[in-house]
Amino acid sequence: MDLENQARIKKFAEELGAENLVVILGGAEAEAAGLAAETVSAGDPTFAGPLAGVSLGLAVYHVVEDEIKSECDAAVYEEQIGMMEMVLDVDAIKAEVSSIRKQYSKF
């Protein structure tokens, strides 16, 4: 996850409280989405950014996960995400992000 985004998420967590924050990812690759999920929960695994060694434990989901999809208006979801659902390896992304969430998310 780029350093700018790490800084923004860290700032939000400080301002709003980590328990009040949910991170929704949109990355196209399971591996990259998993890394982003790990960054905002366990800390930056590359030790390059502001979240290096900072375990925010944030709740983190990918937008294709059922927990998020069920919260959305079906028509809007179809219009915005429907095409990408066909394109992405949704099962791999779900498995990767939910596994990271189960390990590191505290909320």
Interface with another protein in residues 53-82 (CB under 8 A) = 79-82
Query: Measuring CA to CA, which residue among 67, 70, 68, 65 is closest to residue 95?
Result: 65
Quick one: which of 21, 32, 52, 92 contacts another protein (CB under 8 A)? 32
Nearer to another protein, 37 or 59 (CB): 37
Listed ranges 8-16, 23-31, 65-73, 99-107: which one lies at the site for another protein (CB under 8 A):
23-31
Exposure string (b/e) for 87-104, b if CB count within 10 Å is 16 or more?
ebeeeebbebbbebbeeb
Residue 22: strand, helix, or coil: strand
Contact between 86 and another protein (CB under 8 A)?
yes
